A and B are shown apart, each in its own frame.
Chain A
Amino acid sequence: MSVENSLPISHRQRLWLYGLGGLVLLFLIAPSVIIVIMSFSDSTLLQFPPQEWSLRWYETYFGSVEWRDATVVSVKVAVMTMLVATPLGTAAAYAINIGTLRMTGVINALLTASLIIPVILIGIGTFFLYARIGLNNTLTGLVIAHTVQALPLVVLTVLSGLRSYDMNQEKVARSLGANRFSAFRQVTMPQIRFSIVSGALFAFITSFDEVVVSLFISGGETTTLTRRMFNALRDQIDPTIAAISTCLIVLSIVLLSAAQLFGRGR
């Protein structure tokens, strides 16, 4: 790349651009900031900035059995989705990276299908299928559906790691007598582990934040946090949601920083 900012335009001449860009950044980030601040309000009214501060909405969230159960379900499903999607996605990315298979077009189309097909159609289709095989309102059903949605992210993340890795190292290990699996485990995996971890984190958050499919296929004892939030929002604007939202925002920040940190380690 050429030297940065080498154009004969000064920062002063660009002030309007920075101003405009700054406003758009504000538009993007302000809603989250407002929610975080409001979650510490003492009032049931929506005031900003809040007059009195308290933790009462967090107490309501953690004190409510319904919210706690929904959170536990979501965490369980997200962890299991991560544990299923990561190995499946890594295996698929490995096979694609070798690049000797035919019909790569079909394979790629299938693996990325859940990114292209409208989620609402996936939701209705999954509900329809699960109704026939009795998987609606089950953890297994949720994990399977979320795995399908998380898979393309894991595949793409691991694939980008494999692309910058020299496969010949694995060939060397195999020519020295290691079998394919142990060559992968001992030589390749340690070098692409950062992309695998990033992929796993993306899988977790994809599952945890998933709304539309969960609306259709979860319910009763397996109601996910997002489904319960969606229903609560349909009725009224309960400040408890601000406290839950803040927890979700913090979770996103933590997971993203972790992914970023691991990504940099590459």
Chain B
Amino acid sequence: MSTQSASLYGAGSFTGTLNADTLSADARRESLGLLALLSPGLLLVFTVIIVPIGWLFWLSLFDESGALSAANYARFFQQASYIRTFITTFKVAFFVTGACVLLGYPQAYMLSQLPRRAASICLIFVILPFWTSVLVRTYAWLVILQRKGLVNSWLIDLGVISQPLPLANNLAGVVIGMTHIMLPFLVLPLYASMKTIDTDCLRAGMNLGASPAATFRQIFFPLSLPGLASGVVIVFVLCLGFFVTPALMGGGKVIMWAMRMEQTTSLYSNWGAGAALGVVLLGVTLALLGLFQWLLGARATGVWSSR
């Protein structure tokens, strides 16, 4: 608009520069204003999350005498208890992620195939647990799985078993409870990505003579892989740092990474060691997410160009 009015008066260069000044001042004011809108939130996040984590990272670099050392990290390879914690954590994360895939894929597939109304009703059953407190759901599984819990008393009443099965306060209990909590994190992104799969592709496959099973295997499944991958990564990463369920359902025998961090800092007040655990956990989390983004970026474009 400014150049138009400038050329109308035949003094393009002069008013042009004048306007450029005003415009750039205006743009500066605009971005300052926007920054002012963002700054309270950013400042809060920076102070409460970034600063303490940076501080903890700094602490982890010193040993108990205050000298600069890698002792806090070397411990992870030397002490058997730390190695056991890492093995347990990855074992639980693998089991839970696997269980979530086995349960979540058919679930999401069914949701994506149902008529819209039925799907939105079924979706409530996924979203409601998602927004129910983790504590409430862990408590429910304790009630269901413990020694004198519902499953054991039913099975004994039915005469299937004579001795109660060890379902809670061990690895099995932790995996069952965590699977229940993680499942929506897999189903929701997977369902969203399945909804974007074009039915025409499937119909074309069937028109060309593919059986329903072959259509699923050769067309639907490959197209759903990016969604599945994102669900798997989210669940796996969340499992690595999960605290509440293993703390309550592990019976003190299943020590996962986050519990170890809590014990080291709260019980033993060893901030350096706890901080080092946190730094490595954050590193692994970010590395997995970064790797996934890199892979999926390539795959997503691959899927796109193949269509």
* The residue from A46, A89, A110, A155 contacting B50, defined by CB atoms under 8 A apart: A110
Which of A18, A20, A121 has the largest count of B CB atoms less than 10 A from its CB?
Answer: A121
* The residue from A25, A114, A128 contacting B271, defined by CB atoms under 8 A apart: A128
Is the CB–CB distance between A25 and B56 below 8 Å?
no
Is the CB–CB distance between B136 and A113 below 8 Å?
no
| Contact indicator per residue, chain B 91-110, by CB within 8 Å of chain A (1) or not (0) | 00000000000011011011
Is the CB–CB distance between B140 and A256 below 8 Å?
no
| Contact indicator per residue, chain A 79-91, by CB within 8 Å of chain B (1) or not (0) | 0000000001101
* The residue from B49, B131, B180, B212 contacting A114, defined by CB atoms under 8 A apart: B49
Is A98 positioned at the interface, with any CB of B under 8 Å from its CB? Answer: yes
| Contact residues in A for B278 (Cβ distance below 8 Å) | 118, 120-121, 124-125
CB distance from A15 to the nearest CB of B (A): 11
Is the CB–CB distance between A34 and B143 below 8 Å?
yes
| Contact residues in B for A6 (Cβ distance below 8 Å) | 199, 203
Is B149 positioned at the interface, with any CB of A under 8 Å from its CB? Answer: yes
Interface pick from B4-12, B28-36, B70-78: B28-36
| Contact indicator per residue, chain A 230-266, by CB within 8 Å of chain B (1) or not (0) | 1001100100011001001100110110000000000
Q: CB within 8 Å of B: which of A135-154? A: 144-145, 147-148, 151
Is A187 positioned at the interface, with any CB of B under 8 Å from its CB? Answer: no
CB distance from B55 to the nearest CB of A (A): 7
Say whether, besides A17-B113, A28-B180, A144-B44, A38 and B143 are in contact (CB < 8 Å): yes
In the bound complex, what is the Cα–Cα distance between A89 and B132 (angstroms)?
Answer: 23
In the bound complex, what is the Cα–Cα distance between A27 and B184 (angstroms)?
Answer: 12
In the bound complex, what is the Cα–Cα distance between A198 and B121 (angstroms)?
Answer: 19
| Contact indicator per residue, chain A 35-62, by CB within 8 Å of chain B (1) or not (0) | 1001000000111100000000000000
* The residue from B47, B131, B243 contacting A212, defined by CB atoms under 8 A apart: B243
Is B87 positioned at the interface, with any CB of A under 8 Å from its CB? Answer: no
Is A191 positioned at the interface, with any CB of B under 8 Å from its CB? Answer: no
Which of B135, B202, B206 has the largest count of A CB atoms less than 10 A from its CB?
Answer: B135
| Contact residues in B for A122 (Cβ distance below 8 Å) | 48-49
Is the CB–CB distance between A233 and B140 below 8 Å?
no
Is B90 positioned at the interface, with any CB of A under 8 Å from its CB? Answer: no
Is the CB–CB distance between A249 and B241 below 8 Å?
no
| Contact indicator per residue, chain A 106-127, by CB within 8 Å of chain B (1) or not (0) | 0100110110111111101111
CB distance from B238 to the nearest CB of A (A): 8
CB distance from B129 to the nearest CB of A (A): 5
Is A65 positioned at the interface, with any CB of B under 8 Å from its CB? Answer: no
| Contact residues in A for B229 (Cβ distance below 8 Å) | none
Is the CB–CB distance between B139 and A245 below 8 Å?
yes
| Contact residues in A for B148 (Cβ distance below 8 Å) | 45-46
Is the CB–CB distance between B136 and A32 below 8 Å?
yes
| Contact residues in A for B261 (Cβ distance below 8 Å) | 120-121, 124
Interface pick from B14-22, B281-289, B295-303: B281-289
Is A167 positioned at the interface, with any CB of B under 8 Å from its CB? Answer: no
Is A69 positioned at the interface, with any CB of B under 8 Å from its CB? Answer: no
CB distance from A121 to the nearest CB of B (A): 4
Is the CB–CB distance between A233 and B45 below 8 Å?
no
Say whether, besides A13-B212, A226-B133, A155 and B144 are in contact (CB < 8 Å): no
Say whether, besides A46-B150, A95-B37, A234-B248, A34 and B140 are in contact (CB < 8 Å): yes
In the bound complex, what is the Cα–Cα distance between A53 and B45 (angstroms)?
Answer: 48
In the bound complex, what is the Cα–Cα distance between A216 and B38 (angstroms)?
Answer: 28
Which single residue of chain A is at the shortest CB-CB distance from B258? Answer: A120
Is the CB–CB distance between A24 and B274 below 8 Å?
no
Say whether, besides A101-B34, A119-B243, A121-B281, A148 and B139 are in contact (CB < 8 Å): no
CB distance from B219 to the nearest CB of A (A): 11
Is B122 positioned at the interface, with any CB of A under 8 Å from its CB? Answer: yes
| Contact residues in A for B294 (Cβ distance below 8 Å) | none
| Contact residues in A for B51 (Cβ distance below 8 Å) | 129
* The residue from B41, B46, B103, B109 contacting A91, defined by CB atoms under 8 A apart: B41
Question: Which residues from chain A sit less than 8 Å from chain B, CB to CB?
Answer: 1-2, 4-9, 13-14, 17-18, 20-21, 24-25, 27-29, 31-32, 34-35, 38, 45-48, 88-89, 91-92, 94-96, 98, 100-101, 107, 110-111, 113-114, 116-122, 124-129, 144-145, 147-148, 151, 155, 180, 205, 208-209, 211-212, 216, 226, 229-230, 233-234, 237, 241-242, 245, 248-249, 252-253, 255-256
Q: Please list 6 pairs of residues, one from A and one from B, whose beta carbons are closer than 8 Å in the complex, sorted by A's number.
A: A32-B129, A92-B41, A113-B45, A124-B56, A226-B135, A233-B138
Given contacts A116-B285, A120-B278, A125-B278, 10 further A-B contacts (CB under 8 A): A8-B206, A31-B180, A45-B148, A91-B37, A111-B41, A116-B289, A125-B52, A129-B48, A233-B248, A248-B133
